[in-house]
Structure 1
Amino acid sequence: MATTTVSQLLAFAALVFVGHDALPTKPDGPIVRTQYGDVRGMYAEEGDIFLGLPFGVPPVGELRWKPPRAYNTSWAPGVRDGTVPGPACRQGGCGPNSADYQHTCNRDKARTQSEDCMYLNVFVPRSVLNSTARLPVMCWFHGGEYRYGTGAALVYDGRILANKTNTVVVTTNYRLGAFGFLVTGEGEDDARGNYGTLDQIEALRWIQQNIADFGGDKDKVTIFGQSSGSDSVAVLLTSDMATDLFHQGIMMSVPFSIAHKTQFEAIRLGNDVAKFANCSAGDMKCLRSKPADEILDAQEEVSTFIANPFRLLEIFLQWGPTVDGDILARQTVDSFAKGQFQRKPFIIGTVGEEAILYIYLAITKPMSKLELDAAALAFLHGKGPAALHEYNPPQTSDYRPFLAQAVTDWVFECPTRNAIRNVVTSGEGDVWLYVFDHVWSFKTFWNDFSYCNGHVCHGEDIPFVFQTNLLANVSFTPDEQVLADAMAYHYGNFAHTGDPNKPSPYVYTTGNVLKSPLNWPRYNQGNQFPNMNFTTPQNVMVHDYNKEKCDFWDKENIYSETN
């Protein structure tokens, strides 16, 4: 495989579109009384929006590389301005002059980012106005390789999703890259990693303590995310630390086959960061004294560092949770295989051509058969020949499509099937599987990623979940609107009832939603392993999706770090 640059790795983030302007808001926004004081949000056509609510003490100075501390400061008697987002967490790019075609940067004009970034956003549907109802909560963890993104990005605006599912939607920040996941050692003052995950847990604690003020039900919390955000959901489902903080999950495109680093591997990476920051290995006083820009520069310098040469896939997910035996006890795919996970309902799935995006970014020219063979051996080692034999591509001038298909199966689709089957075998029956395979009609939104036009690339389902293209005056086709509303129907039912089929009278069912939505059976052998195919012109049910290729990967037993 060709060398992957840092700019190319950006593609592994949830690269999706959104437009320029939100629907108009009204002056004199709603005021909510919280334990910290009153906060004024803004009215939108779909309900109320509250941006930039603090959930943690700023992790700066001596608190850099420390677990988050709950926000505990009153802003009374003043009224907090909830119409502007808090800063995004520090990351490369997303500066005031950076291109942001997918609108994954902070939504304010300055695209503010800071280490002081423990902020979340709440979207309340209009049904809550003047009501005492307590609605289910959907808490979103954004994707972006654990290096990029923010909960305040316009692409993740939750107003339409909240209104159509009749839920309270929360989107949150969490520390990214070296700030969120640096490991320098196991001493008391060392950076021990997993701070970004702890931030997510702290946001969930905030929901437990405060969401009732916004009409939410703390006893009905669904966590959901895409890419590294869905990996976060998988981590929380297998971590004892989050057991009482949520009740079910939705995982969109978990890259299960990209292993989380061991402590030893993470320390190797951390030592390199220290070196480029001109600090001795493990010198926390030196590292905490460095300006954030210097930490980002050091992070950039190590962007092609491989901690384990036998797991080259880590180049696509260099940062993230570390297997520490505490927050993350083992690889998530192993936890599902061993039955060591929380017995909670979940929905999980992938898009049809996950790997097109980053294969074509990493390899910018047509790929020869020799290069394909070399990539298979480099990434799969002794199992490379078997994979080449299984996929057996015909002679062609460019083998990238075959590599993308194999990587989609190996990294996303088949370990997802493996995980959900292991969950069912362990006795959890309330699980559902899907594949999204619709090619969107608004081709300009891939902009510089033109090779995704005509394909269902990683992240292509996000506009259909949030329907944020409507905020940019970019319409779906009629069939696409039906698809988006059908997804809102199933996800809304799931948030309300724990079953995507069990109707809730509060979920949007008029207009474009079919009067008789397709039944989505639980995933099990008795139901012939059903897979909801989210597509146009209407959803269909397939059984034992991609069986041949996933049987092959299961037989090779290559998902786990121990194989």
Structure 2
Amino acid sequence: MSAPGPDDAPLVRLPVGTLRGRAENGLAVFRGIPYAAPPVGELRWRPARPHPGWAGIRDAGEYGPSAPQVGLVDPVLGGHGAPPFDEDCLTLNVWTPGPDDARRPVLVWIHGGGFVSGSGALPIYAGDTFARDGDLVVVSVSYRIGALGYLYLGAEDDADAGNFWLTDQLAALRWIREHIAAFGGDPDDITVAGQSGGAFSTAALAVHPQGRGLFRRAILQSPPLGVHTPDREEALRTTAALMEVAGVPDVAGLRALPWEALVEATVGMFGVQARWGRWPVPFLPMVDGSTLTRHPLAALLAGENPDLDILLGWTADEAGFAFGANEMYARATFEQVRARFEEAFGARGGEAYEIFAAERPGATALELLTDLVSEELFRLPGTALAEGLAEQERPVWLYQFDYPTPAYDGRLGAAHCLELPFTFRNADRWAHAPFLAGVEPKTLDGLGAAMHDAWIAFVRTGDPNHAGLPAWERYTTPTRATMRFAAACEAGTDPVGAAKRGLSGAGAAGGRA
């Protein structure tokens, strides 16, 4: 458990044991800290359990393993998960200006990845830039993903619950609240931020009875609040499909499989769940009645966390991530896209198609499909959240990331995930990512400073305004103020528009990914 370290290595003494970190460029860094018991053996597909602690000094110089996942190279990010992978993955990492009694604001990062990829151990999510630039304590969290995090086993299993990912994240937040003061953080001033699936997680944590009091602010980057949350019956059909793909007859057979076989079966699940014009997602968060009682969007709109400050936004062309570099969709026809509109909007599908087409004259079929799925999963439900909170006179700040990458001859647009190198202001760590090809250094620097400093300001004060931005007003229904992040940032209004807002009750929000 213990290992030798340099004399200047920072030490933190906690009730669960002592940690030895690393001194790195003016920060104290602690990696691979276990926040829950390893979910292995009998604890596979069980809610997270407390970690028993350790004797002596635990070396915290290296990241823990990432959750098991495919780890493929993709044409947009260039990969979103790197080995080692292991089921024993419930660890977190801390960056702090000093393990002292300064009680700094705390930023907790929850990664996304379509519920099947990503890790708190990825260098792209290192918290050093925020810790150093904002005098913050930053924590990144790894949790169970894919089949190990999202599968529901039902009454056939004695742990009749789902959403193991959510129990992991709740355990991490409890650990942070209990221990972060020893790292120089303020347990009463915590912001949870996430992107994509991590933003959905943040929303779910905000409305969970055990999560509400654990943080005061939330940053939701591209939350897929339009994603369908299956009930128990639907979730069991997914479990049955996984059993068929994996070649096992029952839950006992799944439990006996090595995690490598579960990951291999996940690849097959992409094919099982695939539908034309849909963002492929083999596993989804579910409404199981215990860990998640209803969709987080509905719960937030019902006022289940009225004291939460929210910074919310998305990229202009979210679905460019799923379709822009895919040659099959480059051949999409207008007839196929019109049919997809009818799936989304039912009887108003033709009307919706004409509204979208009028908003982008001369658009290709692929561009209209990208607009539809971007609205369906992100913008329409996100706007509904902003509208609902504003009507309740609750603080919400809205943004849209408008900068289109020149990569792939511009076909990606301002795609999903593209804002991440800017918010973290760490584009040098994204050299593997094809979606940054051709972006000019001055844009990386200028737009990065604008977004990064806004996030820091929000974490510190609840207000994202800073000297490098135009005045950013709170979102209200009269003004619909929206910060537009691009090569030149500007204060805008209403990124959706009245015509599309009028469609939001016609079937798009809440559609299956």
Q: TM-score, normalised by structure 2?
A: 0.89
Deviation at residue 210 of structure 1 after TM alignment? 1.1
Cα distance in 1 for partners of 2:17, 2:208 equals: 33
Is the CA contact (8 Å cut-off) linking 1:520 and 1:541 kept in structure 2?
yes
Structure 1 segments unaligned to the other structure (5+ residues): 1-25, 504-512
Paired residue for 1:285? 252
**Among 378, 388, 395, which residue is 1:422 paired with?**
388
Secondary structure of the structure 2 residue equivalent to 1:305: helix
2:195 pairs with 1:226:
yes
Map residues 231-270 of structure 1 onto 2, 5 A cutoff: 231-270=200-239
Deviations 1:128-171 (A, max 9, x none): 37x53011111111010110010010111110111112111111
Inter-partner Cα distance in structure 2 for 1:275 and 1:366: 32
Q: Distance in 1 between matches of 2:424 and 2:331?
A: 35
Give the conservation status (yes or no) of the 8 Å contact 1:27–1:42.
no
Is 1:320 aligned with 2:284? yes
Q: Map of 1:58-207 to 2, 5 A cutoff? A: 58-76=38-56, 79-93=57-71, 102=78, 104-106=80-82, 111-125=83-97, 128=98, 131-186=100-155, 189-190=158-159, 192-207=161-176
Give the match for residue 509 of structure 1.
none
1:214-236 deviations in Å (ceiling 9; x for gaps): 11111111000111111111112
- CA shift, 1:485, in A, is 2.2
Gap change, CA 1:541 and 1:259, over 3 Å in 2: same
Deviation of residue 428 (structure 1)?
A: 4.5
**Does residue 386 of structure 1 match 2:362?**
no
| 3-state secondary structure, aligned to 2:96 | strand
CA 314–198 in structure 1, closer or farther in 2 if over 3 Å, else same? farther
Corresponding residue for residue 372 of structure 2: 406
Question: Is the CA contact 2:96–2:136 (under 8 Å) kept in the aligned structure 1?
Answer: yes
Judging changes above 3 Å, is the alpha-carbon distance between structure 1 residues 70 and 375 closer, same or farther for their aligned structure 2 residues?
Answer: same
Q: Partners of 1:534 and 1:81 in 2: how far apart?
A: 41
Deviates more, 1:541-550 or 1:394-403: 394-403
Change (3 A) 1:430 1:273: same
Post-superposition shift, 1:172?
Answer: 0.6
Aligned residue identity for 2:80: T
Q: Distance in 2 between matches of 1:297 and 1:529?
A: 45
Q: Verify the 8 A CA contact 2:71 2:79 in the aligned structure 1.
A: no
Percent pairwise identity: 28
Q: Aligned partners of 2:350, 2:509: CA distance in 1, in Å?
A: 17
Mapped contact 1:191–1:284 kept (Cα < 8 A): no
- Aligned pair in 2 of structure 1 residues 293, 98: CA closer, same or farther (>3 Å)? farther
- Aligned length in residues: 500
Distance in 1 between residues matched to 2:430 and 2:114, nearest whole Å? 26
Deviations 1:250-309 (A, max 9, x none): 0000122221111111100011222333333xx4333212211222233222223349x9
Q: CA RMSD in A?
A: 3.0
After superposition, the C-alpha distances for 1:29-75 in whole angstroms (9 at most, x for unaligned) are 32222223332222222512211111111101111000011112213
Cα distance between partner residues in 1 of 2:430 and 2:256: 42
For the pair 1:48 / 2:28, whether they are aligned, the reply is yes
Q: Which runs of 5+ in 2 are unaligned?
A: 1-5
Q: Looking at both structures, which has the greater relative contact order when contacts are Cα pairs under 8 Å and sequence separation is at least 6?
A: 1
The amino acid that maps onto 1:170 is V
Aligned-partner Cα distance in 1 for 2:278–2:430: 35
SS in 2 for 1:69: coil
Q: TM-score scaled by structure 1?
A: 0.81
What residue identity is the alignment partner of 2:255?
Answer: R
Distance 1:27 1:481 in 2: 36
Amino acid paired to 1:132: D
Look up the SS of the partner of 1:136 in the other structure.
Answer: strand
The whole-number CA distance in structure 2 between the counterparts of 1:379 and 1:472 is: 35
Q: Tell me, what secondary structure is at the counterpart of 2:266? A: helix
Whether 2:475 is the aligned partner of 1:523: answer yes
Contact 2:34–2:92 under 8 Å retained in 1: yes
The aligned counterpart of 1:477 is: 441
Q: 1:399 to 1:254 in 2, by over 3 A?
A: same
Residue aligning to 1:468? 426
Q: Does the C-alpha gap of structure 1 residues 451 and 35 become closer, same or farther in structure 2, counting only changes over 3 Å?
A: farther
